[in-house]
Amino acid sequence: MARKRGSRRHFLGSACGAALALTGCGRARPWLFFTPQEAETVIALCEQIIPADEDPGAAQAGVIHYIDRHLMGHFRRHQSLYRRGLAQLDELCRQRRNRRFAELKFDEQTAVLESLEGELKRFFDLVIEHTMQGFYGDPRHGGNRDYVSWRMLGVPPAPVRGREHYDLSAGSHKEERT
């Protein structure tokens, strides 16, 4: 039985290509838990909770990264509630407004959120809790990018333990030791 020369290479090349396509390797994946569409919805939800005004809001503070990171760790028990809640919220918006939540205008989003009840209301309450944690918490946990909430409140960024001898800001908050 004659084998076509190069067929093994062709097979291995095809198999590797298929494996890369299935795993998403070779391209950066922006989210650990969320799909891109879910992330859009969460960003819109967070911006409803802490909108930007003269100070940055939840979107600029990177709260989505805090929630996304913790849904793969400490908040793992909330994964199914997030999946269901995001899908139900988008479905509700499609029924009422013929668009997904993230595609609605800010005032339309507000009206939808004010009408929530049952499991969707519990889901939104959880998103509020996680948004507050991500916005006001320590940036090392994934949110509060560039200490935006701390700066807004006039709280100096805390020095990283073990690195007191480094000046971590333009206007050093480190006290001189004598």
| Side chain identity, residue 90 | D
| Domain regions of the chain by residue span | 30-153
87-107 pLDDT per residue, tens: 999 999 999 999 999 999 999
Cα–Cα distance, 124 to 178 (Å, whole number):
51
Residue 158's alpha-carbon distances to 67, 139, 141, 146, in angstroms, are 22, 10, 14, 12
pLDDT digits (tens, 9 = 90+) for 38-66: 999 999 999 999 999 888 888 998 999 99
Predicted model pTM: 0.71
Q: Would you place residue 153 in the very low, low, confident or very high pLDDT band (cuts 50, 70, 90)?
A: confident
